[in-house]
Amino acid sequence: MFCSNCGNGLSESAKFCANCGVKAGAVIDAEQELVEKTEISSFRSAYNSASQAVSRTASGAKNIGGMLAAQISDLNGDGKIDAEDFKIAAARAKQFSSSAIGEAGKIGKNAMQSDLVKEAVSNSVQYFPD
């Protein structure tokens, strides 16, 4: 048997290591110690490999996200996101809003011209005279 702290040889009846004073309950044989150290080393190696893989994946995703954001936001194609891109986005939003309002007006006008609406208005006048 050997001391797990300092490696000093111990007798089977030893309660403490004569060299470093570690309690005999902490004493294990050399073969068991080697197995445990090998297992710990294997786990550490696997953990480090997995940790590095996760880190590389996260870094790659971050880089891809940044590139996509830049490509989507760089509206004038000059390679940077700046005030010009904001002006372009604002103009497009204004154009979209104007188009949407125009379409809503057309839909409303068409609805008012439909026979069903005319009939509903006529009926409501009969039920709710001035």
Gap between the Cα atoms of 73 and 82, Å rounded = 9
Question: Mean pLDDT over residues 49-64, rounded?
Answer: 84
CA-based nearest residue to 2, from 72, 14, 38: 14
DSSP state of 12: T
Has residue 39 got a pLDDT over 70? yes
Q: pTM (2 decimals)?
A: 0.38
- Per the CB < 8 A criterion, the answer to whether 76 and 88 are in contact is yes
Over the stretch 76-113, which tens digit does the pLDDT of each residue have? Answer: 888 888 899 889 989 998 998 888 898 998 888 887 77
Residue 91 has what pLDDT? 92
CA-based nearest residue to 76, from 67, 68, 65, 87: 87
- Per the CB < 8 A criterion, the answer to whether 4 and 27 are in contact is yes
Residue 29 has what pLDDT? 59
